[in-house]
Amino acid sequence: MTDTAVKEQSNGIPVPEEGTPEFEKMNKMAKVAIPIILALFTLGVLQQQAFGMIYVNIGKQLGQPNLAPLITLIPGIVLGIVCVIYGSLGDFVSLKKMVCLGTIVFILGSVLGCFGTFSIWIVIAARVLQSIGWQVSGSIFLVLVSKYVEKRKRVLWYGVFVAVFRIAAALGVFLAGYMTLIDWRWLFGIGIVAVFFLPALAKNLPDQHAKGAHIDGVGFTLIGLFAGAVTMFFTDMNWGWGIACIVTLAAFVIYINKAKSPFITPKMLTNPAFAVTMTVIFVGYFFSYTLNAGVNNIGLNVYGIDSSKVSNLLVWSIILAAIMGFAAGPIIQRIGRKASIILALTCMGGGLIAIAFLIPAGKIWALAVAPCIYYFGTSFFYQPIVDTATLTVEPEESGRALGFNDLIQAITGSIGVALFGQMMAKTSLSGGSIAGTPAGAASSYANVFIIGGVVIFVALIIFVCSMKMIYSHSRADNEK
């Protein structure tokens, strides 16, 4: 490669400049690999959503109902940790080796899960392996798009990514119910079909690695321990985990300032545009894991309907999000990143508040119509905010930016569901609400959703006040 063709950097795999023959070659490979990566991602999301719905059934069948939550909790913690590791590794090591190894781990987890009736710990171990293997596909998809797809087309692929996630989530929820009537081990069996993707992946993924690069085991371990400690603290609310959060964060900060070649530099973390973008993501996604659980609680405890009926009402908003995932890309290209993010956060915050105010109007309005507003907003949030995050750093650092984005989404969702879950369980918010709901459970849920909406509007205020600074420090071209 010539000096003019590639922007040489010592902190990652050199990325070809768009328009060069080297870029065209990588772009052609990426276009073949991306659909296969999305198929793997679909399998992983389907498994995640399905087991998240039926883990209680599995625990009862295996005689360990008290351990059943671990089927989702432990893989969830692992998922948050590996998010940042995979995204960061994507800047340094061979994407082909990463994806092939991850796919093999996912297949091994699927095979192990077929023997899950022997012990609940086999099920937990199988789900951990599946999570470790599956997340590679999501992380590498984002790395491929951010590095080897034309800038003007990236938001389109990010939109497809969101749509595929929503479709797979809906499939997982529906499929899980039927599998409990047959044999839930068939869910694991579905994952084994990933073995047929390996030959095509090995042929069509880049096999480059950064010259002289090394894997920063200490740095990855420290950030992984910090992510795990934060998740466990807000899950268990134990001050021992709180101390662990402080200690691991302090150790990580000291390490990256002292180490010779840390996987992420203090300069990147103190980059104001990147830091503020990550803050908007943290606040904006704070209610993301709470919405479905909150809607389910409203259905159960306010309207007296079971979870299957709640799902039948809520699924339409998920389907809308999937459709908009495909349609939002061209709209985002037309109106620009700024307007898209403002639209997204406005709809997300407004949707949560609408759920609260429509509780007195009945279950159709509160559980089917109002959530559509929130999910409509999410279709316009992920693509431009992720694209913005990658444009605030150098191209060779985009994998690490994506990794931190995934990590923050996992952590903030877990924190939110822990805090809002406690609010819904307590009676302190049940005395009444400005939403006009009667005292009791209805007011508790209405107030929680209003608070959630206000939190998202805080993210909107942060973005509006800082967007000029963010885009003045980014590599965005002709930003609207």
Q: CA-to-CA distance for 266 and 111, rounded, in angstroms?
A: 42
Q: CA-to-CA distance for 132 and 160, rounded, in angstroms?
A: 23
Average pLDDT (101-116) is 93
pLDDT tens, residue by residue, 391-442: 898 877 777 787 788 778 877 877 787 788 778 877 778 888 999 999 999 9
Angle at 435 between CA 429 and CA 436, to 5 degrees: 95
CA distances, 200 to each of 30, 42, 51, 96, 428 (Å): 12, 17, 28, 10, 56
Q: Look at the chain and count its residues.
A: 480
pLDDT tens, residue by residue, 361-387: 999 999 999 999 998 998 899 889 988
Helices 120-148 and 95-113 pack at an angle, to 10 degrees, of 160
pLDDT tens, residue by residue, 321-364: 878 877 887 888 889 999 999 999 999 999 999 999 999 999 99
Average pLDDT (310-319) is 80
Q: Of 41-45, 129-133, 320-324, 347-351, which gets the smallest average pLDDT?
A: 320-324
Residue 8 has a pLDDT of: 38
% of residues, the chain, pLDDT over 70: 91
Q: Of 189-198, 313-322, 337-346, which gets the smallest average pLDDT?
A: 313-322
Q: CA-to-CA distance for 238 and 331, rounded, in angstroms?
A: 45
Q: Rounded to the nearest 5°, which phi and psi values hold at 196?
A: -75, -10
The ranges assigned to domains in the chain are: 14-204, 216-262, 264-480
Residue 6 has a pLDDT of: 38
Burial of residue 266, with CB atoms counted within 10 A of its CB: 0-12 exposed, 13-18 middle, 19 or more buried: exposed
Helices 272-284 and 398-425 pack at an angle, to 10 degrees, of 30
pLDDT tens, residue by residue, 47-105: 887 787 677 678 878 888 777 767 776 787 777 678 777 766 766 777 888 889 999 99
Residue 86 has a pLDDT of: 79
Residue 114 above 70 pLDDT? yes
CATH 3.30.2290.10 given to domain 264-480: no
Task: Name the range with the highest mean pLDDT among 3-12, 209-218, 316-325.
Answer: 316-325
Q: CA-to-CA distance for 4 and 21, rounded, in angstroms?
A: 11
Q: CA-to-CA distance for 398 and 295, rounded, in angstroms?
A: 36
Same fold, 14-204 and 264-480: yes
Q: What is the per-residue DSSP string for 229-276?
A: HHHHHHHH--HHHHHHHHHHHHHHHHHHHH-SS-SS-HHHHT-HHHHH
pLDDT tens, residue by residue, 265-293: 888 888 999 999 999 999 999 988 788 77
Q: CA-to-CA distance for 55 and 59, rounded, in angstroms?
A: 6
Residue 75 has a pLDDT of: 81
* CATH fold of the domain at 14-204: Growth Hormone; Chain: A; (1.20.1250)
Average pLDDT (204-226) is 76
Q: Which residue has the higher pLDDT, 14 or 164?
A: 164
Average pLDDT (6-16) is 55
Residue 9 has a pLDDT of: 41
Average pLDDT (152-180) is 77
Average pLDDT (226-246) is 82
Q: From the centroid of its chain, how far is CA 218?
A: 24
